[in-house]
Amino acid sequence: SMSLMAFILTTLVASVGGPDGVAVYTTGWRVIALAILPMLGVASAVTSVTGAAFGAHDYQKVKISYLYALKAGVLTEIVLALIILIFAQQITWIFTWSKTSARIVGDLSLFLRICWLILPTVAFGMLSSALFQGVGRGFDALGMTLIRTLVFTVPFAWFLGVYLGWGLRGVWIGMTAASIAYIPVAFSWAILYLKKLLTTSEKPG
């Protein structure tokens, strides 16, 4: 689903921004992906810890582990997001020092100044998915990913970038808005499951 989303987004970007737009998207997303790396480690830990707690029937610890990781993840990504926002111009120069790439300086800087907001939202989706993987609910994790990529990100980017004619700026805003709009879905899904898990465990017998 992630590959399909990337393919569709690349197609949308190419349709409104041409080759330069694709260059901006692929380069800018490398920066975002680098800042997401800490979440991969946290997500791996969430899967392991919640899996062990679930296996031991310590469902309260499952909830505590998820919420603790979520707080730590959001704070970490906020710090990284602010670094990208503050040093967007300097980061842009790293990737556009040659004469052939100098023409995308403005567009790449714009990408970073819009998409930095995606980072704090990543923890909600990634860690909620990791929780479901830990407790053996792989289809829930898959469903969350499909909803985030194909129900939120792609339609938002298409609507603002192509349908409304906002171009590359619209695609970037659409991607960011989709990530923010997805937070209640991911968080509610996880919290409702945890509430159900704890309620079930408290029943006698």
Summarised one tens digit per residue, pLDDT across range 148-200 is 999 999 999 999 999 999 999 999 999 999 999 999 999 999 999 999 999 98
First to last CA, the chain: 41
Give the global pTM: 0.92
Calpha distance 191→185 (Å, rounded): 10
Q: If DSSP codes are grouped into helix, strand and coil, which group holds residue 205?
A: coil
Nearest alpha-carbon partner for 174 in 192, 190, 164, 161: 161
Q: What is the pLDDT along the chain (205 residues), one digit of tens a residue?
A: 788 888 999 999 999 999 999 999 999 999 999 999 999 999 999 999 999 999 999 999 999 999 999 999 999 999 999 999 999 999 999 888 777 778 899 999 999 999 999 999 999 999 999 999 999 999 999 999 999 999 999 999 999 999 999 999 999 999 999 999 999 999 999 999 999 999 987 654 4
